């Protein structure tokens, strides 16, 4: 095991402080904004900035997260509307969403692929035709992504 150098300790400590500041400020903003779904912006912020090694990586992950959320939401909303007509109409759309998730898992956008599946799973469990969950997830993810972008530049 390598000994921890002063440089490594400083960068690890500095990153932890930056994450704590970004998380706390985002938490306060979301709390006072009246936003109903408060967890998604914070989850998105952490998922985007914690594993990232540099700013370029953060912006790439932001793009993948937003792309996956929008794709999964679109497929999920179509499935919800079809469920209002008949549950069996919903099933092929859900299967298509799972196919999209699996197909792009081995592409250059594996993270977006995962987010398609997660978003689809969240949305299709809403009551038939209720797109409120989809809209709240999209808004929450976008808010978290914007927060991650701002704090990656500022901190």
Burial of 53 (0-12, 13-18, 19+ CB in 10 A): exposed
Nearest to 150 by CA among 51, 37, 59: 59
Residues of the chain below pLDDT 70: 1-10
What does the domain layout of the chain look like in residue ranges? 6-154
What is the predicted pLDDT for the residue at 107? 92
pTM: 0.82
pLDDT at position 154? 86
Distance CA(43)–CA(28), nearest Å, equals 14
pLDDT value for 27: 95
How much is the pLDDT for 6?
Answer: 60
């Amino acid at each position: 095991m390598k000994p921890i150098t002063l440089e490594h300790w400083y960068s690890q400590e500095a990153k932890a402080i930056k994450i704590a500041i970004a998380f706390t400020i985002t938490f306060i903003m979301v709390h006072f904004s009246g936003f109903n779904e408060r967890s998604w912006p914070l989850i998105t912020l952490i998922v985007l900035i914690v594993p990232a090694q540099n700013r370029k990586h953060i912006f790439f992950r932001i793009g993948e997260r937003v792309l996956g959320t929008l794709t999964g939401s679109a497929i999920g909303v179509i499935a919800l509307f079809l469920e209002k007509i008949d549950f069996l109409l919903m099933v092929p759309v859900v299967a298509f969403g799972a196919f999209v998730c699996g197909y792009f898992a081995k592409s250059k956008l594996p993270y977006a692929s995962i987010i398609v599946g997660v978003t689809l799973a969240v949305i299709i469990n809403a009551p038939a035709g209720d797109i409120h969950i989809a809209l709240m997830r999209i808004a929450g993810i976008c808010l978290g992504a914007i927060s991650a972008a701002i704090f990656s530049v500022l901190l």
